[in-house]
Amino acid sequence: MKGILLAIGILASGAVALRANAEDKPATAAVKNGWWIKIKTEKTEASSISFQIGTSKKDRRDWRVWRSGDPVEFDVPDDFRTVSKLYIHATSNPNDKNSWFCMMYKGDGVKHLDFDDDEDQYKGQGDRDSECN
């Protein structure tokens, strides 16, 4: 269940400030039984990374936004967990800050992405990238 906290404050100028904060469900640990993502925070300067996911560039959808402080390992949605090839498009926010993560399949690193704007990759389960392990 999502709860919403709404705070109202009166500023010195008399203006009213509104702040909404939605409580997210507790994060669950990555199962890693198929495709999953691993963020390398020591190489990530961006405050968030926006993800799109699909089976190709033409067949993709918005997926999620990872924010600094969120769990650094997370599974892809169930309907993409075991596809033979996975397409990921990621955008670093803000665009001039570096983001670094790996596309993983089960226990293996498939592809690392290191970028400061946006990047996309289309990779198969059998591809390997030693920088991810």
Question: What mean pLDDT is predicted for residues 106-133?
Answer: 96
For residue 18, name the pLDDT band (cuts at 50, 70, 90): very low
For 31-45, the pLDDT digits (tens) are: 999 999 999 999 999
Q: What percent of the chain has pLDDT over 90?
A: 77
Pairing outcome for strands 73-75 and 118-124: unpaired
For residue 27, name the pLDDT band (cuts at 50, 70, 90): low
Global pTM reads: 0.79
**Which domains, ranges and CATH numbers included, belong to the chain?**
28-132 (2.60.40)
